[in-house]
A and B are shown apart, each in its own frame.
Chain A
């Protein structure tokens, strides 16, 4: 395969969609051709830089999510009026519960759940599926962010789960809010801790636990006076609830 053919296939190679003979041919060529290897590396780095920049500037999606949850609920109520009386009893009980809690807090909680699921999704995409060798954010950006947003110098030591080792950190965006995503490792098990900076945390002490956050993961969110976060790990293997409780009580 010559350089021109390889250049044509590089977009597919970069997106991980090249398979079989095409993949083998490109890999073979790149090992021998420094120019194509450099071109591939430059494209990959360009994508990383662009992704980093665009995600840093992501819009806040929480307002849309609240509206969607509200519409889903409203639509659901209408449809459920046609179901059998036994389910109507449960429906009535739920209506009372929602009325007591207040619709706005109910929707806010839905957003909290969505954030926890987004965190689980992020963990799954980046750590399980793609296994990014290098994270999008440059070390300088992370250092600046940590210094500006988290006042505790000993933060890393404090949040490290018992028996785990810190592996990496990056900035990520969940529902329009910027989080620091820390990864800790215990043997083959990875635990993600997402922390929202001080300035953006609400002052209500709240928590949520999703025993099933999809992808075989569980997630626990917490909110304390100075910090909010989500802990994600393999279902039944990482004690996300305990870690979240410890962190929530600590800050």
Chain B
């Protein structure tokens, strides 16, 4: 087996002008998974979520020279995604749909599903607003200021919404047997 050396030499990029390819691939593309998780929450359907992530990444790539180096690229990408989605929603005036997958695990028998799936099940029972704030803060690890920036609401609103969302999730989880074991 031969190991080949892929080196990034500045100024020789052929796929993007102004030599931003390396930076973009390093700091932006690794967040594609998180973007797709969030897009699925917003769109509720995989094909549309994938299109939204693609549009987000390409928009980010086109405007990457405007990204402030040293700030959180993940938060910047999530903001672009949320803006694109809001624009689409305004244009199409449609409501997000609930995916079939979510319905499937809502109906799964508790004794036959794993602890992780029960948590996802409980999460799916929260309001879209609570799901969104938990997804951004707890799952994706954005800070309060960054979540406020993505959602375009005051920080205080994010903090109170997050507290209520945690309380709601805990309340749903406490009806499950495994929670007693986990001590939540």
A-B pairs with beta carbons under 8 A, tally: 178
Can you list, as one digit per residue, whether each of B91-132 has a CB less than 8 Å from chain A (1) or not (0)? Answer: 000000000000000000000000111011001000000000
CB-CB contacts below 8 Å: B23-73 with A? 25-27, 29-30, 32-33, 35-37, 40, 46, 49-50, 53-54, 57-58, 61
Distance in angstroms between the alpha carbons of A54 and B158 in the assembled complex: 21
Query: CA A122 – CA B74 in complex, angstroms?
Result: 13
Cα–Cα distance between A189 and B165 once the two chains are bound (Å): 39
Contact A64 B50 (CB under 8 A): yes
Residues of B within 8 A of A175 (CB): 32-33
Asked whether any CB of chain B lies closer than 8 Å to the CB of A51, the reply is yes
Tell me if B's interface is mostly helix, strand, loop or mixed.
Answer: helix
Interface of A, helix, strand, loop or mixed by DSSP: helix
Q: When A46-B170, A76-B16 are in contact, do A176 and B36 touch as well, CB less than 8 Å?
A: yes
Q: List B contacts of A117 (CB < 8 A).
A: 25-26, 29-30
B154 within 8 A of A: no
* Cβ-neighbour of A141 out of B25, B27, B116 (below 8 A): B116
Among A58, A211, A249, the residue within 8 A (CB) of B37 is A58
Q: Is A208 in contact with B29, judged by CB distance below 8 angstroms? A: no
CA distance A63 to B46 in the complex (A): 11
Query: CA–CA, A90 to B11, complex, Å?
Result: 12
Q: Are A57 and B182 also in contact (CB < 8 A) when A50-B138, A214-B26 are?
A: no
Q: Is A198 an interface residue (CB 8 A)?
A: no
* Complex Cα spacing A71 to B162, Å: 37
How many residues of chain A have a CB within 8 Å of chain B? Answer: 72
> Can you give 30 A-B contacts (C-beta < 8 A)?
A7-B163, A11-B158, A15-B137, A17-B144, A46-B166, A51-B138, A59-B36, A59-B37, A61-B33, A61-B35, A61-B36, A61-B53, A64-B53, A64-B54, A68-B58, A72-B16, A75-B58, A76-B13, A90-B14, A113-B25, A117-B25, A118-B33, A125-B141, A141-B116, A207-B2, A207-B3, A212-B7, A214-B26, A220-B3, A248-B1
